[in-house]
Structure formats: structure tokens, C-alpha cells
Amino acid sequence: MAAQRRALDYFERVWAVVRAVPPGRVTTYKAIAAYLGSPQGARLVGYAMNASHTAYPPVPAHRVVNHKGYLTGKFHFPTPTTMQARLEAEGIRIDNDQVQDFEKVFWDPAQHLPLPEVFLAEGGSEGG
């Protein structure tokens, strides 16, 4: 039970970071993991994103892509085109399942949020 609670706590930390990603920007599984102190934990961030449909308030999971800008999570949405449609609605260009101008739209939580212990203690405020 304690391990299950720790996983849920980690998922909630991931979701708080993702909720802070502004519309029209994307971040990566790797950047979130590094911000939360687990640079090798991108896969665990992916697990959290896969479970994010259960979270409240809602998590803008479409704003999380792989480290090269690919929409690797697209099959975890209602349709395989939902993720792309949501990103395009925010002004992000996608070509062949990859974010275009990735460097310009990439949002690094380590550069835009306070230290995790401060940010998460505040309840994961919006913006950046």
C-alpha cells in the first residue's frame, strides 16, 4: 500500500508540473523527470501521463512530448489524432507526428518554475 501511495504522490507531482505548462508550449517526459530529481525517470513520467485522465483538475497531457518533439503519447488519447489537434489548436505546428520549431515552443520546468519543494508546496500554481 505504501508503494502505491508513493507512486500516486509522484504522479500528482508530475501532473502539477504539466498543469503549469502554458498553452502553446510543450515540455518533455525527460525535462519533467529531471525537474523532479529523477533524470532517468522519463518512463515513470510517461506512466503518470498515461494515468492523467483520472486527475482533477484536468491535466493538459497533450503538452508532453518525447525529447525530440515526437507525439509518442498520442495513442493514449481518445483518438490517435486528438493530441495533434489539441496542440494545433494552441498554435503548435505538427508534421509527421513531430512538433515543428521544437526549440521555440519547448518549455523547461527547471527554467520556468521555482525549485520543486517550493513549487509543489505552493500547490502547483499556473503559468510560467
As a three-state string, the secondary structure of 43-55 is HHHHHHHHCHHHC
The average pLDDT across 78-85 equals 97
Residue 2: predicted pLDDT:
62
- Strand, helix or coil at 29? helix
Q: Is residue 128 part of a domain?
A: no
Residue 92: predicted pLDDT:
98
Reported pTM: 0.90
Instruction: Tell me phi and psi for residue 59, to 5 degrees.
Output: -110, 125
Q: Is residue 127 part of a domain?
A: no
- CATH number for the domain spanning 114: value is 1.10.10.10
CA separation for the pair 56, 63 (Å, rounded): 17
Q: Please, which contacts does 120-125 make with residues 24 or more away whose CB atoms are closer than 8 Å?
A: 120/13, 120/16, 123/16, 124/15, 124/16, 124/17, 124/19, 124/20, 125/20
Nearest to residue 38, comparing CAs of 62, 6, 77? 6
Identify the domain containing residue 54 by its residue range: 2-121
The average pLDDT across 78-97 equals 98
Residue 122: predicted pLDDT:
76
β 64-65/27-28 pair status: parallel
Average pLDDT, the chain: 91
Of all residues in the chain, the percent with pLDDT exceeding 70 is 90
Q: Is residue 126 part of a domain?
A: no
Contacts of 24 (CB under 8 A, 6+ apart): 90, 91, 92, 105
Residue 74: predicted pLDDT:
96
Picking from 44-48, 65-69, 108-112, 123-127, which range would have the lowest pLDDT averaged per residue? 123-127
Instruction: Tell me phi and psi for residue 95, to 5 degrees.
Output: -140, 125
Residue 7's pLDDT band, with cuts at 50, 70 and 90, is low
How many domains, the chain? 1
Reported as half-sphere exposure (CB side, CA atoms, 13 A), residue 20 has a value of 25
In the 8-state DSSP scheme, what is residue 57?
S
Residue 113: predicted pLDDT:
95
